[in-house]
Every structure is written in structure tokens, then in C-alpha cells.
């Protein structure tokens, strides 16, 4: 596994791009707006535009931070937010150009235009906050469900060994080959059920029940696996073991069906 890289290069790269963009923006404003027309509107609009660029470039650093191992939002949320910020940047650029024009600079009309942009900015920040908060909640739920699925599926290797044990009994005692093959397929059915097992979010009160189902499944699989630890079997013992494996397998399948019914909304 490749160790996480430092986040400093990603942040430094985006900071340098921001500095370059801010310098270009300031140069354009100072070139096209004569000195006598540079009033409060000019500097406020310029500061607002540079702030938008700063927010935009900070969000562009997210992919680099993710590659460096930092915890960031999901790609879908990130792209949506960056798209909204880019639209915000374009609108702010248009608003700033209108506000600093000599015909409107330092007038009530310019102030109204800037106030509209501030309202848009507030709505955008509210949107970003909502998106990141929701993304964090969904990420926590997804991580919890993945952990639950992995815990249940941790018994799959043991089931694969159990399936091989049942098939080997059929090879050791040919008179039980048909039964051995049928029992092996039953164990494989359990393995397949665990491979595609479903998980979903429930209320805190139901989480305890989910854990009990998980522990019950693990306990029943452990009982099944313990049936493979009988050394020196005769033909009669092999038949008895295969029948017990079949019964225990049916018990596990019933438990899995009960869990599925519990998970259904």
C-alpha cells in the first residue's frame, strides 16, 4: 500500500495559482479603471472578487488532498460545489464590472448591485454548508454499513473450507458422494448469501437487534465449522457428520432469511 503523500505540495500549488490569478485580476482592474475612479466601490468589488478566487482555488485543491490521504468530501459533492462556486465567480465578475464602471462607481446603484452579490454569496455558502453536512452524514452511514457487511462476510473463508471438507468426505467415502455434493452445494448457498448480504440504516433502537442478528449468524457458522473437526471418521460417522452439516446449514439459511425480513422497511 502506497503511504499517503504530504498535503503541503497540493496546498502550495493551489496557493500559487491563487496568487497568480489574484495578481492578474488586480492588474486588469487597475489598468482599466483610472486612478480618479478608484473609490470604495472599486476596492470593495476587487476584494470580493479576489475572495471568490481564493475559495475557488481552495476547493480545486481537494483532489490533491484526497490523493495525499486527507479526508475530503465525495467526488459527486465536490464537483457540484465547485460548479456552484464557478458560477458564483462568473456572476461576481459581472457584478464587479458593472459596479466599478465610472457611470455607477460610488453610487447607490453600485451599492445595490454589490448587495445582490452579497445575498448570492450568502445563499451559496448556505448551499455549500448543507451539501458538505449531508455528504458527511451519508459518508458516516456508508462507512458503518461497509463495516457491518465486512464483519458478517468475515466468515466466508471458513465456509469455503467447510464446503471443501464436505466434498472431500464424498471422495473419501464414495457411497456418500451424492449426499456430499448436495451438502457442499448447501454450504455454497450460505457462502453466496453472505457474499451478497444487504445492509441498511436503522434507528438507534434497532441497531441492537441488528447486532444480535450478526452475532447469531456468526455463532451458527462457528457451530457449522466445528463439525469439520472430527478426526478418523468411519463411513457411518461421515454420514452422520454430513447430515449434521446439512441441518446446521439449513438453520443458518433460516437465520439469514429472518434477518432479511427484519431489514425490510
Cell of 104: 455607477
pLDDT of residue 3: 41
pLDDT of 65 strictly over 80: no
Count other Cβ atoms within 10 Å, centred on residue 162: 26
pLDDT tens-digit map of 182-229 = 988 998 898 888 888 777 665 555 667 777 888 888 898 888 888 886
pLDDT of 38 strictly over 50: yes
Which DSSP string do the residues of 186-219 spell out, in sequence order? HHHHHHHHHHT-------HHHHHHHHHHHHHHHH
Assigned fold of 154-260: 1.20.5
10 Å CB burial of residue 122 (0-12, 13-18, 19+) is exposed
pLDDT of residue 6: 60
Per-chain mean pLDDT for the chain? 80
Cα distances (Å, whole numbers) of residue 76 to 9, 29, 80, 199: 24, 35, 6, 22
3-state SS, residue 18: helix
Nearest to 77 by CA among 139, 14, 123, 120: 139
| In contact, 59 and 81? CB cutoff 8 Å | yes
Cell of 58: 481552495
**Mean pLDDT value of segment 16-40:** 83
Of all helices (H) and strands (E), which one includes residue 152?
helix 108-153
pLDDT of residue 105: 72
Cα distances (Å, whole numbers) of residue 114 to 48, 53, 84, 118, 219: 9, 17, 19, 6, 66
In the chain, % helix, strand, coil (3-state, to 5) comes to 80, 0, 20
pLDDT tens-digit map of 79-90 = 888 888 888 888
Amino acid at each position: 500500500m502506497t503511504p499517503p503523500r504530504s498535503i503541503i505540495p497540493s496546498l502550495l500549488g493551489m496557493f500559487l495559482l491563487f496568487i497568480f490569478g489574484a495578481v492578474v485580476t488586480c492588474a486588469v482592474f487597475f489598468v482599466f479603471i483610472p486612478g480618479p475612479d478608484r473609490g470604495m466601490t472599486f476596492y470593495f468589488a476587487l476584494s470580493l472578487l479576489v475572495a471568490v478566487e481564493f475559495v475557488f482555488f481552495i476547493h480545486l485543491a481537494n483532489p490533491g488532498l484526497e490523493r495525499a490521504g486527507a479526508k475530503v468530501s465525495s467526488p459527486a459533492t465536490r464537483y457540484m460545489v465547485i460548479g456552484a462556486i464557478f458560477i458564483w465567480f462568473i456572476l461576481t465578475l459581472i457584478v464587479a464590472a458593472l459596479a466599478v464602471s465610472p457611470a455607477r462607481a460610488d453610487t447607490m446603484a453600485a451599492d445595490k448591485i454589490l448587495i445582490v452579490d452579497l445575498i448570492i454569496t450568502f445563499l451559496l455558502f448556505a448551499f455549500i454548508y448543507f451539501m458538505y453536512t449531508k455528504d458527511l452524514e451519508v459518508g458516516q452511514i456508508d462507512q458503518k454499513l461497509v463495516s457491518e457487511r465486512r464483519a458478517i462476510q468475515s466468515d466466508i473463508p471458513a465456509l469455503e473450507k467447510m464446503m471443501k471438507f464436505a466434498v472431500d468426505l464424498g471422495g473419501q467415502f464414495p457411497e456418500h458422494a451424492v449426499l456430499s455434493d448436495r451438502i457442499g452445494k448447501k454450504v455454497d448457498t450460505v457462502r453466496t448469501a453472505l457474499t451478497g448480504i444487504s445492509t441498511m440504516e436503522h434507528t438507534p433502537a434497532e441497531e441492537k437487534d441488528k447486532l444480535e442478528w450478526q452475532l447469531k449468524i456468526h455463532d451458527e457458522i462457528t457451530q457449522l465449522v466445528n463439525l469439520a473437526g472430527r478426526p478418523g471418521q468411519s463411513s457411518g460417522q461421515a454420514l452422520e457428520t454430513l447430515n449434521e452439516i446439512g441441518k446446521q446449514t439449513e438453520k443458518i439459511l433460516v437465520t439469514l432469511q429472518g434477518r432479511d425480513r427484519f431489514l425490510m422497511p
